[in-house]
Amino acid sequence: MMDVAIAGIGELPQGRLEGLTPMMLHERLARLALADAGLTLADVDAILTLSPRADPYLMHATALAEYLRIRPPIAFTMEVGGAAPAAMVDHARMLVQTGAARTVLVVAADMPLSVVSRNAYVQTLAEVGPVHPDLERPFGPSVPSMFGMVARRYMHCYGATDEDLAAVALHDRRAAASHPNAHFRAPLDLAQYRASRWIAEPLRLLDCSPVSDGGGAVVVTSLKRARDCARAPVKVLGAGFAMGHMHLSAAQSLTTFQAGAALDRALAMAGATREDIDVALVYDCFSIALLINVEDLGFAPKGEAGRAFRDGHFARDGRLPVNTHGGLLSHGYPGRAASFGNLVEAVVQVRGEARDRQVDDARIALVHGMGGLFATHGVLLVGKP
What's the rounded Cα separation, in Å, for the pair 134 and 292? 27
**Please, which residues bridge with residue 221 across strands?**
5
Closest CA to 230 of 37, 39, 42, 384: 37
Is the Cβ–Cβ distance between 277 and 333 less than 8 Å? no
Distance CA 24, CA 20 (A): 6
Amino acid letter for position 128: V
CA quadruple 240, 243, 246, 252: dihedral sign = negative
Angstrom CA distances, 246 to 128, 153, 180, stand at 12, 19, 35
Q: Catalytic residue at 121?
A: no
Is 193 assigned a catalytic role? Answer: no
CA gap 259, 283 in Å, rounded: 10
Cα–Cα distance for residue pair 276/132, rounded to 1 Å: 39
Element (H, E) at 362: none
**Which uninterrupted H or E stretch holds 30?**
helix 22-37
Estimate to the nearest angstrom the gap between the alpha carbon of 115 and the chain centroid: 21
Answer whether 50's CB lies under 8 Å from 111's CB: no
Catalytic residue list: 283, 333
